[in-house]
Amino acid sequence: MKKLQLALLTIILLIGCKNNQEAMKHKYTNALIEETSPYLLQHAHNPVNWEAWKPEVLERAQKENKPLLISIGYAACHWCHVMEDEVFENDSIAAYMNQNFVNIKIDREERPDVDQIYMDALQMMTGNGGWPLNIVALPDGRPFWGATYLPKENWTKSLESLVELYKNEPAKVEEFATNLEKGIKAINLVESKNSEVSFKDDELQLAVQKWSTYFDTFLGGYKRAPKFMMPNNLDFLLHYGVQQKNDSILEYVNTTLTRMAYGGIFDPIDGGFSRYAVDTKWHVPHFEKMLYDNGQLISLYSKAYAVTKNPLYKETVEKSIAFVRSELSDSNGGFYSSLDADSHNKDGELEEGAFYVWTETELKQLLGDKFETFKQYYNINSYGLWEDENYVLIRDKKDDEVAKELGITQEDLHQTISESIVILKQERDKREKPRLDDKILTSWNGLMLKGLTDAYRYLQDESYLKLALANADFITAEMMNDDGSLYRNHKAGKSNINAFLEDYATVIEGFIGLYEVTFDEKWLKHAQKLMGYTLLHFIDDKSGLFFYTSDNDQKLIRRSIEINDNVISSSNSIMANNLIKLHKIYPDEPYGEIVERMVAQVQDNFMTDAQTFANWLHLVQYNNHNFYEIALLGENYKSIGAELASHYIPNSILVGAANGNSKLPLLENRYVPGETMAYVCIEGSCKLPVNTASAVLKQL
């Protein structure tokens, strides 16, 4: 008995010691310690009494009549880290914030619905946007002040002025907040129209011509800095250039894709793209690597490879997938969100890009006699110099040009560069890696799923299909409920937060793509189930468009309808593209009527702002040109399907089965025992069947 008591006493003492050690390690701990978001957990030991965005927190603010101080950011945000270090770690500033505000921290990637509203508010108040997004609001959540990064002196002065204003002139604050609320609601209004889809080919050509005046035809992208990659813009222009046989548009797309792959925005050592470049030549990136960028770009480069067979595009896809597999993959099949821009440098200080850059001295020591070739290839000169003697690797010439300048063969050039990359990777692996945001977001996983299905489709690498299937299985097992609803977020074995429209849209798109490369109808059934849920809980009866949030979600200042394509396509444009494909597979369902009404609501924007509606413009192409339903039946349907899938045919959908058991309308009553038949159909009306992929291609 005494031994048992002694053992228990020892355990208690050890626990006490551990708790004391934790207390010594962290002077402060706030309510964010209960959250799973890596970004929120980064702020869990600030002296600010941060809390997560929850209804009970807002209720308490109203009872105490305290204004809300809402700070929104994300784990890979460089300026969020700077503001934390300078402002939120400051004891006196934190004490003032705790005394006068209810302080709320939000991970914008977990709660894009809240972020959208307050970003609109900030842009209305200041004309600017960005993160960290800092808002001061009335206790009910209506904003009346906002700013992005502020140094501590400006922050302190601003808060003192706001506290005085809130206490001494409440009517003035209320009036401003009320007017701003009206503006926030008005910015999202979509006028209901009963018109038909009427945007014709000549109008589309004029819209693209106007759009092209912004193209940087030498360096790619647009004539501005910073430069974002805008995958949906390039994806549409590739579709348009191929379908319209427009060589100048295709040349622009290829210039942009080449310059991006050459640029410092792409990591030639570990693979993967950073978020954007701060200059016009795609040289110096904002170094964070996001899953959503890489998923979309893997898809885009795979399609471009199918069109051009450019080995640079294939290599870019392969390296990008290798990066995601190595750095952003969970053993459960899900994909993590991002790698931070910052990491510790040699002096132990957090520095943007420290993991990625090189000095000339380092490169000479590491590469030895390979250095001169590497120097020429990756511009270890004034063109590639960034700052403080650091170089960001960038190319500006084709392989044959560099080989000619060096007087060597391309084979020797490739061998030297490959060996150099191996050496630099070994050295880089000794460095401390950037921080990982290991939450798993449904919508970004949907984008990656589509990227993998396109990579498998056009590059025919079985490992990509294996990754895609594992991811799809994860989504159905961990993120999808029996009623067709989804969760937004998964972390530490828990799935939470009701999903938003973008989550449903990208997963449906991924499932349709996965069906086209496997012909496993369970993916179509999952896609239909998710679509059914959105039609029940997200649709706006007045406009026919979809709300961003479901009718089961917490009511905010407004219920947003997202129609503008940004770095990620708008959730409504993705849904519209999903609906047209499901309509072709299930013509008896009302999908076609729904998508026609959606396009009618937004088509007035196409002429004046084509780049902001790029993903919608695929639907104009589908409407104005033949859309092919290709049905394959018989023993060899998969081999014919794989050959057809490897061709870039954007205005088509593939369905197939080994026998006559499928209930898909396109496959019913078409099976011929002992034969493999391929049918090319338009709106269900089919041409004479053929039995080879080449014969199908001739019918298109």
Residues 599, 472, single domain; the answer is yes
Please list the alpha-helical segments (H only) found in 70-150.
78-83, 91-100, 112-126
**Distances from the Cα of 217 to the Cα of 22, 213, 220, 313, angstroms:** 57, 10, 5, 19
Tell me: pLDDT of 22 over 90: no
Instruction: Kindly tell me if the per-residue pLDDT of 21 is higher than 90.
Output: no
Give the model confidence (pLDDT) of 556-580 as tens digits: 999 999 999 999 999 999 999 999 9
pLDDT at 253: 99
Same structural domain for residues 336 and 485? yes
Tell me, yes or no, whether 542 lies in a domain: yes
Question: What is the rounded distance in angstroms from the CA atom of residue 516 to the CA atom of residue 645?
Answer: 8
CA 88 to chain centroid: 28
Helix (H) or strand (E) run with residue 32 in it: none
Comparing CA positions, the residue from 108, 451, 77 lying closest to residue 288 is 77
Q: What is the mean pLDDT of residues 21-50?
A: 89
How far apart CA 681 and CA 689 sit, in angstroms, is: 10
- Across residues 52-78, what is the average pLDDT? 95
pLDDT in tens, 111-133: 999 999 999 999 999 999 999 99
Residues 256 and 332 grouped into a single domain:
yes
pLDDT (mean) for 101-109? 98
User: What DSSP string runs through 327-360?
Assistant: HSB-TTS-B--EE-SEEE-TTS-EEETTTT-EEH
| In-domain check, residue 13 | no
What CA–CA distances, in Å, run from 326 to 270, 291, 299, 390? 9, 12, 18, 26
Within-domain flag for 106: yes
Q: Where are the beta strands (DSSP E) in 17-120?
A: 68-73, 102-107
Q: In the predicted model, is pLDDT for residue 189 greater than 80?
A: no
Whether 193 has a pLDDT exceeding 90, the answer reads no
- How do residues 647-694 score in pLDDT, each as one tens digit? 999 999 999 999 989 999 999 999 999 999 999 999 989 999 999 999
Residue 617 lies in a domain: yes
pLDDT value at residue 554: 87
pLDDT in tens, 299-320: 999 999 999 999 999 999 999 9
Q: Please check whether residue 499 lies inside any domain of the structure.
A: yes
**31 within domain boundaries:** yes
- For residue 18, the model assigns a pLDDT of 44
Let me know: does 551 contact 537? Beta carbons within 8 Å.
Answer: yes
For residues 507-519, average pLDDT: 99
Q: Which of 430, 453, 482 is the last residue of a domain?
A: 430
CA distance linking residue 354 with residue 341, whole number of Å: 9
Amino acid (1-letter code) at residue 192: S
Task: State the CATH number of the domain containing residue 313.
Answer: 1.50.10.10
Rounded to an integer, the average pLDDT of 630-650 is 96
pLDDT of res. 328: 98
Cis amide linkage into residue 226, ω under 30° from 0: yes
Average pLDDT value for the chain? 95
Structural domain total, the chain: 4
Nearest to 567, CA basis, from 502, 507, 490: 502
Q: Which of 588, 643, 594 is nearest to 619 (CA)?
A: 594
Q: Does residue 581 carry a pLDDT above 70?
A: yes
Q: What is the mean pLDDT of residues 38-47?
A: 97
Condensed to tens digits (0 to 9), the pLDDT of residues 138-179 reads 999 999 999 999 999 999 999 999 999 999 999 999 999 999
Q: pLDDT value at position 684?
A: 87
Task: Using the 3D structure, point to which of 603, 624, 645 is the last residue of a domain.
Answer: 624
Token readout for 215 is 């193209």
Burial class (CB in 10 A: 0-12, 13-18, 19+), 399: middle
Contact 152, 126 (CB under 8 A): no
- Residues spanned by the domain of 71: 21-186
pLDDT in tens, 254-303: 999 999 999 999 999 999 999 999 999 999 999 999 999 999 999 999 99
User: For position 26, what pLDDT does the model report?
Assistant: 86
Angle between helices 152-168 and 91-100 (to 10 degrees): 20
Q: pTM for the complete prediction?
A: 0.94
Same domain, 298 and 321: yes
Question: What CA–CA distances, in Å, run from 7 to 2, 12, 16, 21, 124?
Answer: 9, 9, 14, 21, 64
Using 50, 70 and 90 to split pLDDT, how confident is the model at 325?
Answer: very high
Query: For residue range 206-234, what is the model confidence (pLDDT) as tens digits?
Result: 999 999 999 999 999 999 999 999 999 99
Give the pLDDT confidence score for residue 194 in this predicted structure.
67
Buried b (16+ CB within 10 A) or exposed e, 528-555: bbbbebbbebbbeeebbbbbbbbeebee
Confidence band of 188 (pLDDT split at 50, 70, 90)? confident
Alpha helices in 217-343 (DSSP H): 231-244, 247-262, 291-308, 311-327
pLDDT attached to residue 195: 73
Residues 6+ apart with CB under 8 A from 522: none
Question: Do 590 and 450 lie in a common domain?
Answer: yes
Contact 544, 594 (CB under 8 A): yes
In a domain, 200, yes or no: no
* 67: CATH: 3.40.30.10
Query: Are 620 and 634 found together in one domain?
Result: no
Q: Is there a single domain that holds both residue 485 and residue 617?
A: yes
Rounded CA separation 43/29 (Å): 9
Helices then strands, each counted (H, E), the chain: 26, 21
User: Which pLDDT score, from 0 to 100, does residue 4 have?
Assistant: 47
Domain check: are 460 and 521 in the same one? Answer: yes
pLDDT of amino acid 681: 96
Q: Please indicate, yes or no, whether residues 162 and 272 belong to a single structural domain of this protein.
A: no
Structure confidence at residue 602 (pLDDT): 95
Cα–Cα distance measured from residue 504 to residue 533, given in angstroms and rounded to the nearest whole number: 9
Dihedral over alpha carbons 566, 502, 447, 191 (to 10 degrees): -40
598 domain-assigned: yes
Instruction: Find, among 324, 233, 242, 199, the residue nearest to 598 by Cα.
Output: 199
130/273 same-domain check: no
Give yes or no: residues 419 and 385 share one domain: yes
Residue 639's nearest CA partner among 654, 660, 652 is 654
What angle separates helix 571-585 from helix 591-602, to the nearest 10 degrees? Answer: 150
Q: Examine the fold and report which residue of 430, 456, 479 is the final residue of a domain before the chain moves on.
A: 430
Residues 99 and 231 in one domain: no
pLDDT of 366 > 90? The answer is yes
Would you say 357 and 392 are in contact if contact means Cβ atoms under 8 Å apart? yes
